[in-house]
Structure 1
Amino acid sequence: MGRKITLKTSQDEPFSAYLTGDKAAASAVMILHEWWGVMPHNRLWADRLADIGHLALVVDLYDGRTTDDPELAAEMMRNIDQQRADRKLLTAIDFLHTTGRRVASFGCSFGGKESMRASLLQADKVSATIVAYCRMETEVERLKKLSGPVLAIYARQERNWPEKQEAFETAMKAAGKQTESVGFDAAHGFTNPTSPRYDEAADKASWACIVDFLQRYLG
């Protein structure tokens, strides 16, 4: 139901994104992909958010590259030009916020880390942040920049849970920021339907939490 669009960074660098939903929507969600690159389920998430009234944009940080090979995915993630990726994030947020829309960022794993990064880069334009089973930001001074709440979704089968959750909640409290935490007895990648770790029940439950969070903070 959406379409591919091309945006340009402040340095005139073109990049692709998937846009779906009503342009007149009062709220928008920026979706960041996992280390595989933009996959069909990322676009499906966007379509589902559009169905409930949000404008949704899936940002391609890999310039069209995708893979289902974990080793190649890890290499692609390690080799990302983060400064260029930051320019894409800033451009995408500006695009969504143009008419004064309330904007949220959302991502899982690598995308979760980039979701938090986006919210810190452009805090005055991001009203809410959603991160799922990703590397968590715990630097208090950086977290103080956030202008809205964070929904943190955890996979309780990860080896570094619950320490990861405890460290993030402690840092957010020290920064004076609001966080909501939900965890599921599932493995890293449980929201990806193409993953052997996919957990349908946990995926549906986490999606319900995402929808509720967005309704409360984006309207």
Structure 2
Amino acid sequence: MSEARANILNRLRHSARPQPTITEPEAAPAPPLSQADKVAQLKQRMEAMHAEVIITNSGDWTTALKAVLRQRSLNGLLYAPHSPIGVMLSEGWDSDLPPLVAYEQSVEDCKERLFTIDAGITSTQGGLADVGALILWPTPDEPRLMSLAPAVHIAVLEASKIHDSLASAMRTERWAERMPTNALLISGPSKTADIELVLTFGVHGPKELIVLVLND
């Protein structure tokens, strides 16, 4: 056997030897956030995406809502009259506020009016503190168009339903057992980016997102 061939075979045998596996220690899991920390983190993340986040309380959140509406000139507020939010709104609505517009007809019957109403209000399934997003599960009472068609989307979020992450929300609420036909994650007003990755807000969909976070 030539010396050159012997060297090649020797190198092949050496390279074929199993190399020791180096495993890095797993990072310790982060401690769960308190409710106050979740609220603060969600607020910071969502405001970075041009959302307006208002911290209020569950017993008087309609007062905060009315203050928001009085700061704007709106032609109406689209709402679901049979939802818990809708019932509360219809029980004590002031005459100087934008008129409540009930979403009770099919899309085909109210399409023209639906896309001319300035604002819509919906409930939320929860929130995600780590990324700053709302979880919406459209229902027959609150279909997707209520958060999509009006220029201003007002979302009501219970602070107790803010989760650390999407994985935590799916696990805690047992999504695998009752997933809707579609679940939505909303982080701010509608946005899009051009070929140069310049982000523009309010192009396709709501130009404003206002989140009322209800503390216990």
> Could you tell me the TM-score, scaled by structure 2's length?
0.33
> Could you tell me the TM-score, scaled by structure 1's length?
0.33
Which is richer in helix? 1
* Bigger-Rg structure (1/2): 2
